[in-house]
Structure 1
Amino acid sequence: MPDRILTTHVGSLPRSREVTDLIFAQERGEFIEPADFDRVIGEAVDACVARQVESGVDLVSDGEMSKISYATYIKDRITGFDGDSPRTPPADLEAFPSFLERQARGGGTPTYRRPRCVGEIHPRTLAPLDEDVAHLKHAIAAHKPNGAFMNAASPGVIALFQPNDFYPTQDAYLEALAEAMRPEYEAIVAAGFILQLDSPDLGLGRHMMYKDRSEPEYLQLIERHVDVLNHALRNVPGDRVRMHVCWGNYEGPHHCDVEMGTILPVLMKAKPQGLLFETANPRHQHDWTYFRDMLSVVPEDRVLIPGVIDSTTNFIEHPQVVALRIQQFADIVGRERVQAGTDCGFSTFAGYGAVDPEIVYAKLATLAEGAAIASERMWKAA
């Protein structure tokens, strides 16, 4: 039982120029000496874990240093993917084409390859994961955080960004993805880390993948995403898994975002006991009211990890604001079932991040300060 509010974040953190150049060279198919890649990534993981601990983060990650993005990295770990996919903007940006064009001109749209499913999907290799695990374990031994998690793509988010050209139905595609990703999920937990499943398909999917569907159809479709995810987690205890849901880690109108209250009953059917979600985003600052008003659908073992700092602006939130956001959720489910998180990752794609790297760690420090204020208030009151 925790004696204070623990702090964490969604996963990705700023990568150095050396790391970014190396990842993109690898993406282009250039030969990279394996020992050089291992050394650069290992040093980067060590440095980012050290900075997380210094900033007051309790549950740290490897910053996703070795990955070009949180969803497309899977092409190197499972078979069946090749080529590229056309970009489909989310519905909110389509509604404001001048803003969409400005984002593209200003570098607000990251460029990287999104391969399509063109063949049968099977596990290819766990070697890259083994390297990630080794780097994070080494950094943990050196810097001794309170705990650690490692990210993995959910079947639904893989399908969101990497269309299916091979399987006869979307259900068959999702099932193949779930079974191919299962060894990675199980290996992360076996290594002693919390497994974080990145599942923006359950939120962002409404105004991207399923923007032409009715709301009932959409809910039925994402319930299927949850079903296959649960099947992939059949050998993993729910208390060793958390799930991140968001509406897109970008500055934009977000007026097409599906309401948290609409999807909350479906989210609560997922096996992971931890749920990370956006609340610092201005479009979702009211979402705490859904948890209050729909508490009956939230299982008593769920841990809520609201994003109490934003990941798309360079504002450093005031710690008192952070504390108030934490307390809103603690008042609903109890202080023992709340952790303090971030809205999304700070470097969702290698070489791309809206927040200055130094400000990222300043924001994490204010996250820790706000959690300490909230902890003192709540435990003192008790």
Structure 2
Amino acid sequence: MTEILTSHAGSLPRTPELIAANAARPVGPDGLAPVITDEFRDVLAQSVQDVVARQKQIGISIPNDGEYGHAMSSAYNYGTWWSYIFDRVSGLEVTGVDHRTQESACSAPGDVRLTSFADRRDWVRFADAYGDPESGVSLGKQNVFPAATGPIGFSDLGHALIEQDIDNLRAALSASGYEQGFLNSLSPGSASRIQDDHYGDVDAFLDAWVDVMRPEYQAIADAGLVIQVDDPSLAENFDQITPEPSVEDYLAFTAKRVDALNRALAGIPEEQVRLHLCWGSWHGPHTTDFAFRDLAATVLEVNAKYLSFEAANARHEHEWTIWKDIALPEGRVLVPGIVSHSTNVVEHPELVAQRIERFASIVGPENVIAATDCGLGGRIHPDIAWAKLETLVEGAALASSRL
């Protein structure tokens, strides 16, 4: 029997105790990074122990710390995967200007530019639904983000926080009997989407983020852990370009971000790298998502053994068939989403097994790890999130018995 391993995309539900402990922290003088108190440090360490132990109890093969080091002060937050880095980078400042609502230059053939978040094409098309609090369409809590007002760098606090994440996860892995786990980290391309008020050049700003993120990647790798680089921008940027660009122009734009990530990962073994991409975690129509068939070859250029992507939600489940035509490079492993964060319906184990078997029939069961579309924490109710992980493991066992 070939065992199908299980994992997930990273974020898991925070406990009320951890949320309260984070909310109680005083904010530092820069207005961004809350002070790390001894009390919070103790609560965080115990919470990581508990969340890893719960993954072990359920039967998750490859765990992480639930992204608990990416602090949340409310039960629902779609953006912590991104905003956590603000605490770890110098040169950022909350200016009081909400750049998401400012007018942005339109793109033109050969000149692809991101527009403001508010001008996303899916959001504009379904503005009435997005603006109706009873529609079920949700963007999550929208915060005012900082801007780069000076040279950016990975700060002393950033080094302390990633070491804290590493120490907490390694201790929890040991306590639960795991040999390996992963930590999530942001990509240069996704990070560079914040407002630049200093560099004045898109490529120069992207290059600066390469240097910023590399110390975090290196620290995780040096600790013997797997890095999951979260880079939704590779697919999600397409919706944030107006008017819609050609496939060729978008891929050229995306190739720069792939190159930036590879430069940041230079020297780190591919076996220690997972790439996660998605089309954004918000609960909406997603009618302007870029086709995975057109993107797959470009993202496979990332120096990562594992490729994590959405494959369970209603907009992207059909795309499993692309792997019939796209050869998976030797040594690579697919980590498709088999259960989704975008619905409260808990998938049946038989459906889970069928979804796994589709991929296994094409690339081989040894090249498939069953996971989630995106992070479950902060996006659906905790009870539902854990039930989805339980059915993921049940379905993987069923698929394993049939493979």
The answer to whether structure 1 residue 39 and structure 2 residue 38 are counterparts is no
The question of 1:73 aligning with 2:106 is answered no
Equivalent position of 1:57 in the other structure = 60
* Equivalent residues in 2 for 1:358-373, closer than 5 Å: 358-373=383-398
Q: Is the partner of 1:286 in helix, strand or coil?
A: helix
Residue identity matched to 1:366: T
> What is aligned with 2:313?
281
Task: Say yes or no: does 1:109 pair with 2:120.
Answer: no
2:190 matched to which residue of 1?
157
- What corresponds to 1:226 in structure 2? 258
Other structure's SS at 1:312 match: coil
State the 1:116 CA deviation: 1.5
CA 1:32–1:164: 2 relative to 1, 3 Å: closer
Per the alignment, residue 109 of structure 2 pairs with: none
For each residue in 1:228-247, what CA deviation from the matched residue of structure 2 results, as whole angstroms up to 9, or x when unmatched? Answer: 10011111001110100100
> Alignment partner for residue 155 of structure 2, among 124, 129, 132?
124
Residues 264 and 368 (structure 1), Cα distance of their counterparts in 2 relative to 1, 3 Å cut: same
Query: Which sits farther off after the overlay, 23-32 or 56-65?
Result: 23-32
- Is 2:121 aligned against 1:91? yes
**Alpha-carbon displacement from aligned partner over 1:164-192 (angstroms, at most 9, x marks no partner):** 22113211111110111101101101112
Aligned to 1:139, which of 172, 188, 208? 172
Is the CA contact 1:45–1:63 (under 8 Å) kept in the aligned structure 2? yes
In structure 2, the residue matched to 1:307 is 337
Aligned CA distance change for structure 1 residues 111 and 182 (closer, same or farther; 3 Å):
same
2:367 match: 337
Structure 1 residues 220 and 24, CA, compared in 2 at 3 Å: closer, same or farther?
Answer: farther
Deviation at 1:3, TM superposition (A): 4.3
1:72·1:115 contact (CA, 8 Å) conserved in 2? no
Tell me which amino acid in the other structure corresponds to 2:189: G
Per the alignment, in what secondary structure is the counterpart of residue 307 of structure 2?
strand
8 A Cα contact 2:27 2:35, kept in partner: no
Residue type of the alignment partner of 2:161: P
Distance (whole Å) between structure 1 residues aligned to residue 48 and residue 243 of structure 2: 37
Counterpart CA distance in 1 for 2:277 and 2:242 is 16
Q: Give me the TM-score of the superposition, normalised by structure 1.
A: 0.91
Instruction: Tell me if structure 2 keeps the 8 A contact 1:11–1:61.
Output: yes
Count of residues in Structure 1 that have an aligned counterpart in Structure 2: 369
Cα distance in 2, alignment partners of residues 77 and 36 from structure 1:
20
Deviation at 1:146, TM superposition (A): 5.1
Choose the corresponding residue for 2:93, options 71, 82, 96.
82
Residue 328 of structure 1: aligned partner: 358
Match for residue 197 of structure 1 among 224, 229, 242: 229
- 1:161-310 matched pairs, under 5 angstroms: 162-208=194-240, 212-295=244-327, 298-310=328-340
Aligned residue identity for 1:174: L
Give the Cα separation in 2 of the matches to 1:108 and 1:174. Answer: 26
Equivalents in 1 of 2:290, 2:254: separation in Å? 12
Q: Which residue is equivalent to 1:6?
A: 5
TM-superposed CA distance for 1:32, in Å, is: 5.0
| Counterpart-to-counterpart distance in 2, 1:168 and 1:98 | 35
Offset of residue 120 of structure 1? 0.5
Report the Cα distance in structure 1 between the residues aligned to 2:265 and 2:26, rounded to whole angstroms: 30
State how far apart, in whole Å, the 1-side matches of 2:242 and 2:52 are.
37
Contact in 2 for aligned 1:23/1:67 (Cα 8 Å): no
Relative to structure 1, the CA distance from residue 315 to residue 146 in structure 2 (aligned partners, 3 Å threshold; closer, same or farther) is farther
User: What is the CA–CA distance in structure 2 between the aligned matches of 1:234 and 1:59, rounded to whole Å?
Assistant: 24
Aligned counterparts of 1:336 and 1:364: Cα–Cα separation in 2: 21
| Structure 1: tracts of 5 or more residues without a match | none
Q: Given that residues 58 and 146 in structure 1 are in contact (C-alpha distance below 8 angstroms), is that contact kept between their aligned partners in structure 2?
A: no
Q: How much does 1:71 deviate?
A: 1.2
**Shift in Å at residue 136 of structure 1?**
0.8
- SS of the equivalent of 1:76 reads helix
Q: Secondary structure of the equivalent of 1:119?
A: strand
Q: Distance in 1 between matches of 2:212 and 2:196?
A: 15
Q: CA deviation at 1:22?
A: 3.4
Return the alpha-carbon distance in structure 1 between the equivalents of residues 271 and 234 of structure 2.
20
Distance across 1 between alignment mates of 2:222 and 2:144:
31
Query: For residue 254 of structure 2, what is the amino acid of its counterpart?
Result: I
Q: % of aligned pairs identical?
A: 37
State the Cα distance separating 1:100 from its structure 2 match.
0.8
SS of 1:252's partner is coil
Quote the offset at 1:282 in angstroms.
Answer: 0.6
Q: Secondary structure at the match of 2:322?
A: helix
SS at match of 2:48: helix
